[in-house]
Chains A and B, each alone.
Chain A
Amino acid sequence: MKTRQIIATAVLAATALGFAAAGAGASARTPAPAAGPGPQQDVTMTIRQGMPAINLALPKFAVGEGAQAVADEIYGILAADVKYSRIFSLLPESYYSYIRPLDRSNIIFKDWESINANNLLVGSVSLDAGGDVTFEWKLYDVKPGQPMKGKSYKARKEDLRFMVHRAADDLTAIWGNKPVFATKVAFVSNRDGNDELYLMDYDGAGQTRLTFNNVTDYSPALSPDGKMIAYTSYQNLTAGLYILQVYEGRRLAVSLKGGNYSPAWSVDGKKLAFSSSMDGNQEIYTADVDEDSLKRGAFKIKRLTFNGGVDTSPTWSPTGRQLAFVSDRGGTPQIYTMDAEGSNVQRVSFGGSNWHDEPAWSPAGDRIVYVARVDEVFDLYVLDLMSKRISKLTESNARNESPTWSPDGRHLLFTSNMKGGITQIFTIDYDGANLRQLTTKGQNKFAAWAN
């Protein structure tokens, strides 16, 4: 490693929430060696350890009659969500043994403060005669000893996971976070022999097949409301672009002319950008999607790019005013941005013979994650649009690709063949921490988070 210097660690979660970062992680920055022609950008490699967040105390819930198993399940799911959130940090359970047991009618906040709890969640679980589960929680701010928010949910047992994920979303919403846990992820799997569309929870649970045909279904993009999936399907030997209305089970054709790939929804869900050869060359187009066009199954299509090369992989800025995309107009695939009408094209990735590809614009709009191919190794990098600084997100000696952001921008999904050469879906945090594998059956790719 080259020169190492500690840079100020702006801990995203903490600063965004106005919290003082306690125990900042260490970062190392290494300028990249000059390689190849073209303007050079600093490649910053960031290694952050330990994410200081809000220390949450999560003592075991009060349990109604016969509800112990359910309560344990809820506790497990909620604890996993909280850990994943990067907003809260779960206090180790062993700490609770240092203080007096929780008395729900008389909470001694000094005790909780003494073990460094910032927030305390007090929950209870009960089962009613019909088998429905009730889960109630109340969050306290420990220092002032004030209740912050509370909520109660009732659900059928089979909807338990969804109920807890909703609770986790409500919990993180207190700190201004967008819902993550109850959102879905669309992906492609060949586990049943053919590339078909599937849906799963953010944590890999509940993997459900959506399409049943003998052709390839590819490149799903979940609409922001999670109700529609735009995707490529090879029906009738044409790579057509379709919209699947997930809960109606209705399929609409958007474009069946030429090859149509890589759809991306705008944040308001009203525009679908995609790459198509409908006019002969691979260009970027948008389709207007609204109630009327969905009803009629006819979409107004507009062409945005006009050049002889490949233009593909569009991704919307959160404002909907810009798109990033990939073009080989400069000789190799590189990332460009343009205005939503197709004007003002600017190249944003450089680096000689290296490919820069598959951009995904962060929900906050400040960063673009993309794939760079360096010496046959594909890794994810994050470009900070303001500082133009690049940080390397994955280090795998494999092929990591198809990155997509979580709705809150704290996590990413991507596909990788790092484990045994078979492509699987992984999740990683925005800073490279918490790598987790979500799929194991068959080959799985094209993960798309609704955002």
Chain B
Amino acid sequence: MRKLIVLSLACLLALTFTTSCKPKVKEVPPPPPQAKEQPRVERVEAPQPVQKPQLSEEEIFLAKSLDQINKDKPVRMINFDYDKYTIREDAKAILETNAAWMKKFRTAKILIEGHCDERGTEDYNLALGEKRAKAAFDYLASLGIPADRMKSISYGKSQPLDMGHDEGAWQRNRRDQFLVIEK
């Protein structure tokens, strides 16, 4: 009995097939492009070595401490004649370099320190040192450095560079020194 059901079902299936499957053009899908079966080689590249960022001079400047900056004495000292506070020709060139430096590092502020040799009284040398500091201040201002980036002070004869007592020492001690106080 079960065989009979299976047979009839099969016939029925066969019937439906023969009726629906009319002869037609057999569509053959194009063979897929044959990938070349080769062993896959993976290219391994190490990550780029960490490059130091290309810092601008300004960034380098800002990264340094004030002490480090001043150690290099970026703003150069100028000297004066005895009992004088006029800017000498040789000092003008130095101040121009200093002004260029100040223009390059636009955030820097400087202290201009006026110093004197020992051949003067404490009182007078304080005033004379003040005039020397002011002379450099004015000259730098004339070169376009804003006044609010400069400050002047006098140390009189209290901080000699050279402890000698001859013209060489005195000349070295008659000076304006520049200290970077803000960056």
Min CB gap A364→B, angstroms: 23
Min CB gap A326→B, angstroms: 6
Given contacts A237-B181, A261-B123, A326-B124, contact A399 B118 (CB under 8 A): yes
A355 to B83, CA, bound (A): 10
Within 8 A of B (CB), among A299-315: 310-313
Within 8 A of A (CB), among B124-153: 124, 126-128, 130-131, 133-134, 151-153
A338 to B47, CA, bound (A): 81
A238: chain B residues at CB < 8 Å are: 151, 153
Min CB gap A196→B, angstroms: 13
Q: Is B70 an interface residue (CB 8 A)?
A: no
- Contacting pair A218 B130 (CB below 8 A): no
Within 8 A of B (CB), among A397-427: 399, 401-402, 415
Binds B, one of A27-35, A49-57, A174-182, A274-282: A274-282
- Contacting pair B121 A259 (CB below 8 A): no
- Contacting pair A281 B134 (CB below 8 A): yes
Given contacts A261-B130, A281-B134, contact A239 B153 (CB under 8 A): yes
- Contacting pair A313 B130 (CB below 8 A): no
B122: chain A residues at CB < 8 Å are: 218-219, 358, 401-402, 415, 445-446
Size of the chain B interface, CB-CB below 8 angstroms = 24
A239 to B118, CA, bound (A): 20
A125 to B132, CA, bound (A): 60
Size of the chain A interface, CB-CB below 8 angstroms = 39
Q: Is A234 an interface residue (CB 8 A)?
A: yes
Min CB gap A274→B, angstroms: 11
- Contacting pair A237 B124 (CB below 8 A): no
- Contacting pair B119 A261 (CB below 8 A): no
Interface of B is mostly: mixed
A310 to B155, CA, bound (A): 15
B158: chain A residues at CB < 8 Å are: 195, 216
- Contacting pair A378 B130 (CB below 8 A): no
- Contacting pair B134 A373 (CB below 8 A): no
Number of A-B contacts (CB under 8 A): 97
Residue of B whose beta carbon sits closest to that of A373: B119
Given contacts A280-B134, A358-B123, contact A259 B118 (CB under 8 A): no
Tell which of B111, B127, B151, B152 touches A261, judged by Cβ atoms closer than 8 Å: B127
- Contacting pair A357 B130 (CB below 8 A): no
Q: Is A333 an interface residue (CB 8 A)?
A: yes
Min CB gap B58→A, angstroms: 24
A415 to B124, CA, bound (A): 15
A350 to B152, CA, bound (A): 32
A311 to B127, CA, bound (A): 8
Min CB gap B90→A, angstroms: 23
B111: chain A residues at CB < 8 Å are: 237
Q: Is B120 an interface residue (CB 8 A)?
A: yes
- Contacting pair B120 A262 (CB below 8 A): no
Q: Is B79 an interface residue (CB 8 A)?
A: no
Min CB gap A64→B, angstroms: 49
Residue of A whose beta carbon sits closest to that of B111: A237
Given contacts A216-B158, A373-B119, contact A358 B124 (CB under 8 A): yes
Residue of A whose beta carbon sits closest to that of B127: A312
Q: What 1/0 mask marks residues of chain B from 59 to 96 whose CB sits below 8 Å from any chain A CB?
A: 00000000000000000000000010100000000000
A232 to B120, CA, bound (A): 19
A445 to B124, CA, bound (A): 14
Q: What 1/0 mask marks residues of chain A from 58 to 75 whose CB sits below 8 Å from any chain B CB?
A: 000000000000000000
Q: Is B154 an interface residue (CB 8 A)?
A: yes
- Contacting pair B153 A355 (CB below 8 A): no
Min CB gap A96→B, angstroms: 47
- Contacting pair B119 A376 (CB below 8 A): yes
Given contacts A234-B153, A239-B153, A277-B134, contact A402 B124 (CB under 8 A): no
- Contacting pair A239 B154 (CB below 8 A): yes
A402: chain B residues at CB < 8 Å are: 121-123
Given contacts A237-B151, A238-B151, A277-B134, contact A357 B124 (CB under 8 A): yes
- Contacting pair A326 B181 (CB below 8 A): no
Given contacts A237-B151, A238-B153, A239-B153, contact A313 B119 (CB under 8 A): no
Residue of A whose beta carbon sits closest to that of B113: A237
A245: chain B residues at CB < 8 Å are: none
- Contacting pair B153 A378 (CB below 8 A): no
- Contacting pair B120 A357 (CB below 8 A): yes
- Contacting pair A310 B120 (CB below 8 A): no
A378 to B152, CA, bound (A): 28
Within 8 A of A (CB), among B21-75: none
Q: What 1/0 mask marks residues of chain A from 414 to 451 whose CB sits below 8 Å from any chain B CB?
A: 01000000000000000000000000000001100000
A293 to B148, CA, bound (A): 30
Min CB gap A278→B, angstroms: 11
Given contacts A238-B151, A239-B154, contact A357 B123 (CB under 8 A): yes
Q: What 1/0 mask marks residues of chain A from 344 to 356 whose CB sits below 8 Å from any chain B CB?
A: 0000000000010
Q: What 1/0 mask marks residues of chain A from 228 to 254 whose CB sits below 8 Å from any chain B CB?
A: 000010100111000000000000000
A234 to B152, CA, bound (A): 12
B120: chain A residues at CB < 8 Å are: 333, 355, 357, 373
A195 to B158, CA, bound (A): 10
- Contacting pair B123 A262 (CB below 8 A): yes
A219 to B126, CA, bound (A): 10
Which residue among B123, B126, B154 has the maximum number of chain A CB atoms within 10 Å of its CB? B123
**Can you spell out 5 A-B residue pairs with CB atoms less than 8 angstroms apart?**
A218-B126, A234-B153, A277-B152, A328-B83, A402-B121
User: B: which residues have CB within 8 A of A?
Assistant: 83, 85, 111, 118-124, 126-128, 130-131, 133-134, 151-155, 158, 181
User: A: which residues have CB within 8 A of B?
Assistant: 195, 216, 218-219, 232, 234, 237-239, 258-259, 261-262, 275, 277, 280-282, 310-313, 326, 328, 332-333, 355, 357-358, 371, 373, 376, 378, 399, 401-402, 415, 445-446
